[in-house]
Amino acid sequence: MKLLLENIKELVQVEDQPVLFRAGKEMAKVNTIKNAFLIIRDEVIEDFGPMDQLKDKYLDDDLLIEIDCSNRLVYPSFCDSHTHLVYAAPREKEFVDRIKGLSYEEIARRGGGILNSAKLLHETSEEELYESAMERLWEIVKMGTGAVEIKSGYGLNTEDELKMLRVIQQIKRTSPICVRANFLGAHAIPLGYKNNPSEYVDIIINEMIPQVAAEELADFIDVFCDQGFFSVEDTERILMAGLKYGLRPKIHANELGLTGGIQAGVKYNALSVDHLEYVGEDEIAALIDSETMPTVLPGAAFFLNMKLSPVREMIEAGLPVALASDFNPGSSPSGNMSLISAMGCINFKMLPEEVINATTLNTAYAMGISESYGSIARGKIANLFITTEIPGIEYLPYAYGSNLIETVIINGEVQNF
């Protein structure tokens, strides 16, 4: 089947010669076509261009469904390269504890936080986890996300980590959007191993990783390498073990301090290092010329009132930056990538164009899928959205409280929610 989107006021993030990501000054460049058409055949983008080049043959094709996009913009779907959207229950009580003055780390030390989510996950069936995660997944699809990475990490023992990863696999099989699975057995140190974390690391290495690999349950491996969580030494042991089984790292680093997590990620050729509230010259130097995508999570910084990652310095140093939601019950209970885009502009002083690259192409790279997602390019998967009537690309991050996404197309099919 063919779909023709016509009279598009502005077709955004168009590529004739696709690149894998954009870095430094290039991040401020987004190609667009005004008064454009776009043709989708089956699940793939077939052609696009200015309306006056729309060939007559397409108009005679009776298998063609036409959508008039007058006054509307068309964007490639967001790619959200960092989420924890499989979880048993929200943690709004901890939200109130933090309002009253407790810190995220204090809550974690008392057995709240990630450990609290692990306890709840243990008590919840795979079916229930799947159902609630699919509700969240549909919620983000509605909000314009067309590819998502999902982490484990609320299991924290072999059985429950595998259970979580199987739920993610079931989501992968049944979800209309592209899903990538990340094994995060090293998300927190379980209470029983508090005084001997390396024993838990041994379990991750000797039990969990071989089983995750045997059942092909994950695309990536993650570690929360930070103060009070996993040390650089333990992180390196885990990443090395994962690499032996073909699991490429994509890790949490430098959220709580200058811990060396970024350097450890680069050393093991991580596809991305994520959070990055604490970044200095050494971290920037390590990232330059690496294949690792620096990924910032504005929702977590906003929700936990954290120090902001020096995004401008990183871009000015020539680095690429990606922005993801970190959708999770503890530090970022939202997967709204339009809101993340607004935060990119408002809090991190990114230009609207930089934010578009950071939430589409660069996050696609951070999931290893930028050859098929992240821009409007011939042959890429037709995951995109049509906005309401808006004046231009600045308006989306500007009108941060409005829902400006009117129509979502996934794999070339218009979604009816």
Among 113, 298, 320, 397, binds ligand NIG (CB under 6 A): 113
262 binds ligand NIG (CB under 6 A): no
Cα gap 363→323, rounded to integer Å: 7
What is the bridge-based pairing of β-strands 64-68 and 2-12? parallel
> Residue 212 CB, nearest distance to ligand NIG (Å)?
19
Among 6, 10, 326, 353, binds ligand NIG (CB under 6 A): 326
Q: Segment near Fe ion (CB under 5 A), from 29-37, 321-329, 343-351, 377-385?
A: 321-329
Over the window 138 to 167, marking each residue x when it contacts ligand NIG by CB under 6 A and - when it does not, the resulting string is: ------------------------------
Burial of 335 (0-12, 13-18, 19+ CB in 10 A): buried
Inter-residue contact 106 to 98 (CB < 8 Å)? no
154 known ligand binder:
yes
Q: Which of 61, 30, 26, 68 is nearest to 46 (CA)?
A: 61
Among 149, 222, 236, 326, binds Fe ion (CB under 5 A): 326
Q: Segment near Fe ion (CB under 5 A), from 157-165, 167-175, 255-263, 322-330?
A: 322-330
328 binds ligand NIG (CB under 6 A): yes
Q: Which of 177, 193, 175, 173 is nearest to 185 (CA)?
A: 193
Containing H/E element for 341? helix 337-346
Q: Looking only at residues 272 through 301 of this chain, which bind ligand NIG when binding is defined by CB under 6 A?
A: 300
Give residue number: closest CB to Fe ion.
Answer: 326
327 binds ligand NIG (CB under 6 A): no
> Residue 255 CB, nearest distance to ligand NIG (Å)?
5
3-state DSSP: the chain helix, strand, coil percent, rounded to 5? Answer: 40, 25, 40
83 binds ligand NIG (CB under 6 A): no
Q: Segment near ligand NIG (CB under 6 A), from 113-121, 124-132, 174-182, 362-370?
A: 113-121
Q: Is 98 helix (H, G, I), strand (E, B) or coil?
A: helix
Please provide the DSSP assignment of 128-196 as one string.
HHHHHHHHHHHHHHHTTEEEEEEE--S--SHHHHHHHHHHHHHHHHH-SSEEEEEEEEETS--GGGTT-
Over the window 32 to 71, marking each residue x when it contacts ligand NIG by CB under 6 A and - when it does not, the resulting string is: ----------------------------------------
Inter-residue contact 293 to 365 (CB < 8 Å)? yes
248 known ligand binder:
no
The entry of Fe ion, ligand NIG, none that residue 267 binds, CB within 5 to 8 Å by partner kind:
none
> Residue 224 CB, nearest distance to ligand NIG (Å)?
5
Please provide the DSSP assignment of 67-78 as one string.
EE-TTEEEEEPE
Helices 158-174 and 113-122: crossing angle, nearest 10°?
Answer: 80
Q: What is the DSSP letter of 376?
A: B
Among 13, 81, 83, 117, binds ligand NIG (CB under 6 A): 117
Residues at the binding site are: 82, 84, 91, 154, 187, 252, 255, 326, 328, 330-331
Which residues of this chain interact with ligand NIG, rule CB under 6 A?
84, 113-114, 117, 224, 252, 255, 300, 326, 328-331
Residues at the binding site for Zn(2+) are: 82, 84, 252, 326
